[in-house]
Copies of this chain bind each other. A is one copy, B any other.
Amino acid sequence: MPKKVDHQERRTLIADALMRVAADQGLEAVSLRHVAAEAGVSAGMVQHYFRTKDEMMAFAMAVVRERGQIRVTEALARLGENPAPRLLLRTMIAALLPLDDRTRDDGRVALAFLAYTAVRPASATGLRADTMQLTSFIASVLPTGDAAEAAGLLALMEGLGLYLLGGQYTAEQALDALDAQLDLLFGSSAAA
């Protein structure tokens, strides 16, 4: 009896190869040919699961977003019930920053995706929804509830991520900048 192909397993194999190529060699290396070579399958097989580069990039970004959400959920769970708003925000943002090797790989994929979508605005629709949702949540936790302050904190997080990936800031400098910002937003006396 011929072995039944496990489509989910094969898709995951190809997806993992795609993520390694994107993180190691950057955006330009993400092609049917490179991903196939990394996964050890044919280009035709890759094309069966991802028809275009757009689909591959969108999938890689979806994986990065999902991993980020899982990291945030796990980090918040460790805080127990009803954490202070400042600690909640610090924990959430630190979980999203590229502070170790694994999150740096994810960060490089996200950066490649952003550079890719900057010249193809239609492909960034999901990102815009994410940003709006995060901004509303942050505003709901800030003492002032101010939307512009929330938008600024989210932008600061993105900028810290960029500087961590580029090596302009160390992990310590990035966390110091985050704490200084939380001091400004919550008042330094309420330091968590």
Minimum CB–CB distance from A155 to chain B (whole Å) comes to 3
State the main secondary structure of chain A at its contact with B.
helix
Within 8 Å CB of A124, what residues of B? 166-168
| Contact indicator A152/B168 (Cβ below 8 Å) | no
Across-interface contacts of A26 in B (CB, < 8 A): 115-116, 118-120
- Chain B residues in 8 Å Cβ range of A152: 156, 160, 177-178, 180-181
A118 touches B127 (CB 8 A): no
Tally of this chain's copies: 2
Q: Which of A98-155 contact B (CB under 8 A)?
A: 107-108, 111-112, 114-121, 124, 127-128, 131-132, 146-149, 151-152, 154-155
Contact: A162 with B151, CB < 8 Å? no
**How many angstroms between the C-alpha atoms of A169 and B150 in the bound complex?**
12
Task: Verify A151–B128 contact, CB threshold 8 A.
Answer: no
B25 and A119 within 8 A (CB): yes
A-B contact pairs, 30 of them (CB 8 A): A24-B119, A25-B119, A26-B118, A26-B119, A27-B27, A27-B28, A27-B115, A108-B118, A114-B166, A117-B166, A121-B167, A124-B166, A127-B168, A131-B163, A151-B169, A151-B174, A151-B176, A154-B163, A155-B155, A155-B156, A155-B157, A155-B174, A155-B177, A156-B156, A156-B159, A158-B158, A158-B162, A159-B160, A159-B162, A162-B162
